[in-house]
């Protein structure tokens, strides 16, 4: 496979990191929008916690969390539909391929070949990053459920304490109301609420902000309250500031409306449109004084068009970074640690009774009967408190806290339980995560259980017909196998997912399969070139001409002057066509010229090549 920007460890921690919801008041969003960003977008680049965080297991043994990656979920934004995701994936590849100037090159020489090929594929990184960023929350796994919620109100609000209470009530409604159709799922009933007072240094009163913070700390504790100061830049400061936000924002995706903050009224019914204009009469009944205050705020806090983060200084960047660390170390991780202790006590007291009753029932009523045919079983809401799901949930919590040995033990136990219950989707998920837990252990004596991953991919793709889960499993496993030098096994896994229905996915996978053959102990250059031709063909069908051209150019180095004249003619013809479509007429002319020199084609085909050459 190609060299990636992220290490294997970082990619897995990003894909399976703790998810945190963000619920902002209307005034807080207005403050954030001064930087042409929502609050969720504002903090996203600072969600990689580089400092160490300590956590204790139920036996009080201390573990160290390193390089924690937090995923931010905006409560206002619904997940994109399938067609939108496909378009975002295509756009991410197009943008990465068109701007990929500094691609790393690798030279390979043998007795028969001497070629120079791409060692990195930035479009693969972009595809993978977009896929994980748009991933839906899956019902059968808890690791992507929201573990906490940031409630954000600005210090410019006339009554911040009351607004915090309304946001908290609204979050409870979204999580616990049976009538709520919100898409977010939550890890525990008692979701951690972290109260963030957003302070605009250029507008707000410092004394008022400190007073409000003291009240918040008295009500909710210092571990769940924070004063975040931003927008310190003055109009005369022309210093160029770094922009860490652009890589996280998909310009082609639907951005939230600028007035899209949550305005909580007395009516908390699920029919309230979170994307409606909070000042519109249709949104809710607004008191005239409230409406006047909000209009004044919008007038006094204008937005800027000078790029992302245009009102922030380097000190504000540090404030955002320190805020995320304090939230993780004093709020998020202690909450997960407490939740693990609670689940550990519940499982210890309940699972033995459940299994004893199950075995007794099986012995007396079903011991002599033949096993029924496998069926696809899932646990609905009625089974959410079942011991099997509780074991899976605590395994996910252990994984989030990087206690990978404990996570492996619980995933392995859950895998057996789900398999006995013929809940194949849940069993596949536990198998996938057991393999990852094994891989993430730096001192594990176990061999990487590749058969767990292969079983999970087969279940996802065949039994469950879930393209996303099978693709995610294969991409994560690709990182694990690459790190272990198991390139042939990685190519075999990816090949299972190549199909006729999705050209873009198949093209990406075929290109990575080719890269795997290039990195085996003895490079398999002909297999490399063959799969690159297949990848180039699928890239062309997916309208990714830049990627298709790169694949064919790399494959041509292997087929050129190899005696396979017809194959070489096919590649030259395709390069000529793709170059012509990309307005690279010089390259197209050279490629078509090769077709009319010493051609072994039928005269009619030679005449066709001549017409193409003259047309260029």
pLDDT (average), residues 113-118: 79
Q: Are 38 and 74 in contact (CB under 8 A)?
A: yes
The SS3 assignment for 500 reads: coil
When the pLDDT of each residue in the chain is averaged and rounded to a whole number, the result is: 82
Q: Measure the CA–CA gap between 317 and 331, rounded to whole angstroms.
A: 21
- The b-or-e profile of 427-454 (16+ CB within 10 A means b, else e) is bbbbbbbbbbbbbbbeeeeeebbbebbb
Percentage of the chain surpassing pLDDT 70? 79
Q: What is the pLDDT of residue 238?
A: 65
Q: Which two tokens stand for residue 583?
A: 């307005």
pLDDT of 365 reads 43
What's the number of CA atoms in the CB half-sphere (13 Å) around residue 435?
23
Tell me the mean pLDDT in the region 252-267. 46
User: Over the stretch 157-178, which tens digit does the pLDDT of each residue have?
Assistant: 999 999 999 999 999 999 987 6
Which residue, among 487, 437, 501, 431, has the nearest Cα to 459 in the 3D structure? 431
> Quick one: what percent of the chain has pLDDT higher than 90?
52
pLDDT recorded at residue 39 = 95
């Amino acid at each position: 496979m190609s060299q990636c920007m992220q290490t294997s460890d970082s990619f897995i921690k990003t894909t399976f990191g703790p998810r945190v919801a963000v619920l902002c008041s209307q005034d807080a969003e207005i403050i954030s929008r001064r930087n042409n960003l929502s609050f969720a977008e504002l903090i996203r680049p600072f969600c990689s916690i580089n400092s160490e965080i300590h956590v204790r297991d139920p036996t009080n043994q201390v573990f160290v969390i390193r390089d924690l990656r937090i995923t931010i979920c905006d409560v206002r934004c619904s997940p994109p539909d399938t067609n939108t995701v496909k378009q975002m994936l295509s756009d991410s590849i197009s943008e990465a391929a068109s701007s990929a100037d500094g691609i790393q090159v690798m030279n390979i020489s043998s007795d028969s070949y001497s070629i120079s090929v791409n060692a990195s594929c930035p479009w693969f990184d972009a595809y993978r990053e977009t896929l994980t960023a748009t991933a839906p929350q899956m019902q059968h796994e808890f690791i992507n459920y929201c573990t906490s919620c940031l409630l954000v109100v600005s210090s410019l609000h006339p009554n911040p304490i009351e607004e915090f209470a309304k946001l908290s009530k609204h979050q409870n409604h979204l999580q616990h109301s049976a009538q709520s159709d919100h898409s977010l799922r939550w890890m525990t009933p008692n979701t951690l609420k972290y109260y963030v007072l957003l302070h605009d240094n250029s507008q707000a009163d410092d004394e008022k902000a400190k007073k409000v913070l003291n009240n918040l700390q008295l009500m909710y504790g210092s571990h769940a309250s924070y004063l975040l100061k931003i927008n310190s830049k003055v109009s005369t400061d022309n210093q160029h500031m770094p922009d860490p936000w652009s890589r996280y924002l998909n310009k082609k995706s639907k951005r939230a409306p600028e007035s899209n903050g949550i305005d909580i009224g007395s009516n908390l019914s699920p029919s309230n449109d979170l994307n409606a204009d909070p000042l519109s009469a249709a949104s809710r009944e607004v008191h005239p004084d409230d409406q006047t205050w909000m209009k004044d705020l919008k007038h006094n806090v204008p937005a800027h068009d000078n790029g992302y983060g245009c009102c922030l200084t380097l000190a504000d960047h540090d404030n955002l970074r320190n805020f995320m660390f304090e939230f993780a170390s004093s709020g998020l991780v202690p909450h997960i640690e407490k939740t693990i202790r609670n689940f550990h006590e519940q499982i210890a007291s309940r699972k033995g009774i459940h299994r004893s009753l199950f075995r007794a029932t099986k012995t007396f009523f079903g011991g002599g009967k033949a096993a029924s045919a496998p069926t696809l079983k899932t646990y609905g809401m009625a089974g959410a408190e079942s011991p099997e799901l509780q074991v899976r949930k605590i395994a996910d919590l252990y994984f989030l806290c990087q206690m990978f040995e404990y996570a492996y033990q619980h995933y392995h136990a859950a895998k057996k339980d789900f398999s006995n219950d013929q809940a194949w989707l849940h069993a596949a998920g536990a198998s996938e995560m057991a393999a990852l837990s094994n891989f993430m252990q730096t001192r594990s004596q176990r061999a990487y259980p590749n058969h767990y991953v292969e079983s999970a991919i087969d279940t996802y793709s065949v039994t469950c017909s879930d393209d996303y889960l099978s693709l995610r499993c294969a991409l994560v496993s690709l990182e694990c196998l690459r790190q272990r030098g198991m390139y042939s096994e990685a190519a075999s896994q990816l090949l299972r997912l190549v199909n006729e229905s999705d050209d873009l996915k198949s093209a990406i996978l075929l290109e990575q399969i080719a890269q795997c053959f290039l990195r085996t102990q003895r490079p398999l250059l002909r297999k490399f070139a063959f799969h690159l031709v297949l990848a180039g063909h699928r890239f062309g069908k997916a309208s990714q001409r830049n990627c298709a051209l790169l694949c064919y150019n790399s494959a041509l180095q292997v087929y050129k002057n190899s005696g396979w004249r017809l194959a070489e003619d096919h590649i030259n013809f395709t390069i000529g066509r793709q170059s012509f479509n990309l307005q690279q007429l010089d390259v197209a002319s050279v490629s078509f010229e090769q077709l009319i020199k010493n051609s072994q084609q039928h005269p009619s085909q030679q005449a066709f090549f001549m017409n193409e050459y003259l047309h260029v």
